[in-house]
Amino acid sequence: MNPFNYSRSSAAAGAIQSLVKEPQAHLLAGGTNLIDLIKMGVVAPERLVDINPLPLKSVEKTAAGLHIGALATNSEVADHPLVLQDYPLLSLAINAGASPQLRNMATVGGNMMQRTRCNYFFDTAMPCNKRVPGSGCGALEGYNRMHALFGASDHCIAVNPSDMNIAMVALGAVVHVRGPKGERTIPFGEFHRLPGDHPEKDNTLERTELITAVELPASAAAFRNHSHYLKVRDRSSYAFALVSVAAALDMDGTTIKGARLAMGGVAHKPWRLHEPEAFLKGKPATEATFRQAAEIAMQGAKAYRYNKFKLTLAPNAILLALQTASA
Amino acid sequence: MKHDMIGDPLNRVDGRLKVTGGATYSGEYKIPGLTYGVLVPATITSGTLVSMDTKAAERAPGVLAVITPFNAPKVPGFQPGAAKPVKGLKLFNDDQVHFNGQPIALVVAETFERATYAASLVKATYKAAPFETDFHKNFDKGVVPNEGKYKDYVRGEADAYKNAPVIVEQDYMLPSEMHNPMELHVTIAFWDGDDKVTLYTKSQGVIGSQRAIAGAFGLDPANVQINSRFVGGAFGSSLRTWPHEFAAVQAAKLVKRPVKLTLTREQMFTLVGYRPLTIQKIGLGAAADGKLVGITHESHSQTAVYEEFTENAVNVSRFLYASPNANTRYKVVPLNVGVPAPMRGPGEATGSFALESALDELSYKLKLDPIELRLRNYTYTDPERNLPWSSKFLKECYQQGSERIGWDKRPAEPGTLRDGEWMVGYGIGCGAFGAYRSKTSAKIKLLPDGTVNIQSATSDIGPGTATSMTLIAADTLGIPADKITFELGNSSFPVAPTQGGSQTCSSVGSAVHDVCVALKQKLNSLAGLPTDSTAAIDYSSILQKLNLPVLELTQDSQAGDEAKNYSMYSFSAHFAQVYVHPLTGVVKVKKLVAVVDGGKIVNRKTASSQMIGGAVGGLGMVLTEEAVFDDRYGRYVNGNFADYHVPVNADVPDIEAIFIDKPDPIINPVGSKGLGEISLIGVAAAVANAVYNATGKRIRELPITPDKILTTT
Q: What Rg do the C-alpha atoms of chain A give, in angstroms?
A: 19
Question: What pLDDT score does B486 carry?
Answer: 98
Q: Are B669 and B1 in contact (CB under 8 A)?
A: yes
List where CATH 3.90.1170.50 sits in chain B: 31-129+180-271
Q: Are A240 and A265 in contact (CB under 8 A)?
A: yes
Residue among B132, B183, B348, B677 flagged as catalytic = B677
- DSSP β-ladder status, A227-232 and A174-179: unpaired
B709: chain A residues, CB-CB within 8 Å: none
pLDDT digits (tens, 9 = 90+) for B102-152: 999 999 999 999 999 999 999 999 999 999 999 999 999 999 998 888 999
CA distance B29 to B147: 40
- Going from the C-alpha of B125 to that of each of B49, B51, B571, the distances in angstroms are 6, 5, 53
Residues A39, A42, A48, A51, CA torsion sign: negative
Q: Are B515 and B507 in contact (CB under 8 A)?
A: no
Per-position DSSP letters for B654-709, written without gaps between them: EEEEEE-----SSS-SS-B---TTTTTTTHHHHHHHHHHHHHS----BSS--HHHH
Q: Which helix (H) or strand (E) holds B615?
A: helix B604-619
- Going from the C-alpha of B3 to that of each of B476, B611, B671, the distances in angstroms are 8, 22, 10
**Burial class of residue B285 in the structure, from the number of CB atoms within 10 Å of its CB (0-12 exposed, 13-18 middle, 19+ buried):** buried
B635: chain A residues, CB-CB within 8 Å: 123, 125-126
Q: Are B218 and B76 in contact (CB under 8 A)?
A: yes
Q: Are B579 and B588 in contact (CB under 8 A)?
A: yes
| Amino acid in position B608 | S
Residues B554, B560, B562, B564, CA torsion sign: positive
Where are any strands of DSSP class E within A218-270? 227-232, 243-252, 255-264
Q: Which helix (H) or strand (E) holds A67?
A: strand A65-69
CA distance B339 to B280: 20
Flag whether residue B111 sits within 8 Å of chain A, measured between CB atoms: no
> Nearest Cβ partner of A143 from B120, B630, B705?
B630
Q: Could you name the CATH architecture of B141-176+274-435+565-711?
A: 2-Layer Sandwich (3.30)
Query: Looking at residue B496, what DSSP letter applies?
Result: -
Flag whether residue A4 sits within 8 Å of chain B, measured between CB atoms: no
| Mutation to test the A interface, candidates B104, B619, B702, B710, most A Cβ within 10 Å | B710
The mean pLDDT value for A208-234 works out to 98
Q: Which helix (H) or strand (E) holds A15?
A: helix A12-21
Question: Is there a contact between A317 and B623 if contact means CB atoms under 8 Å apart?
Answer: no
pLDDT digits (tens, 9 = 90+) for A170-188: 999 999 999 999 999 999 9
Domains recognised in chain A with CATH numbers: 5-52 (3.30.43.10), 223-326 (3.30.390.50)
CA distance B364 to B695: 13
What is the chain A residue with the closest CA to B60? A3
- DSSP β-ladder status, B35-41 and B103-109: antiparallel
| Mutation to test the A interface, candidates B45, B123, B584, B651, most A Cβ within 10 Å | B584
Question: What pLDDT score does B1 carry?
Answer: 45
Question: Is there a contact between A235 and B635 if contact means CB atoms under 8 Å apart?
Answer: no
Q: Dihedral of the CA atoms B111, B116, B122, B128 (nearest 10)?
A: 140
Q: Does domain B15-23+438-558 have CATH number 3.30.365.10?
A: yes
Give pLDDT < 50 ranges for chain B. Answer: 1
Q: Are A323 and A287 in contact (CB under 8 A)?
A: yes
CA distance B265 to B234: 14
> Nearest Cβ partner of B633 from A1, A126, A310?
A126
Q: Which helix (H) or strand (E) holds B213?
A: helix B206-217
- Nearest CA-CA distance, residue A200 and chain B, Å: 20
B632: chain A residues, CB-CB within 8 Å: 141-142
The phi, psi pair for A307, rounded to 5°, reads -115, 20
CA distance B116 to B61: 11
Give the CA count within 13 Å in the CB-facing half-sphere of B56: 10
List where CATH 3.30.365.10 sits in chain B: 15-23+438-558, 141-176+274-435+565-711
CA distance B713 to B705: 15
Flag whether residue B112 sits within 8 Å of chain A, measured between CB atoms: no
Query: Where are the alpha helices (H) located in B288-345, listed in sequence order?
Result: 316-319
Asked if residue A210 has pLDDT above 70, the reply is yes
The phi, psi pair for A323, rounded to 5°, reads -60, -45
- In terms of C-beta distances under 8 Å and separation of at least 24 residues, what long-range contacts does B287-290 make, across chains too? B287/B164, B287/B165, B287/B166, B288/B165, B288/B166, B288/B366, B289/B376, B290/B362, B290/B363, B290/B366, B290/B368, B290/B372, B290/B373, B290/B376, B290/B377
Tell me if the bond preceding B80 is cis, omega within 30° of 0.
Answer: no
Residues 6+ apart with CB under 8 A from B547: none
CA distance A259 to A280: 6
Q: Which fold has domain B31-129+180-271?
A: Aldehyde Oxidoreductase; domain 3 (3.90.1170)
- DSSP β-ladder status, A47-50 and A5-8: parallel
Q: What is the ipTM of this complex?
A: 0.97
Flag whether residue A136 sits within 8 Å of chain B, measured between CB atoms: no
Give the CA count within 13 Å in the CB-facing half-sphere of B12: 17
CA distance B128 to B131: 9
Reduce the DSSP state of residue B370 to 3 states and report it.
helix
| Amino acid in position B329 | R
> Nearest Cβ partner of B584 from A232, A235, A238?
A232
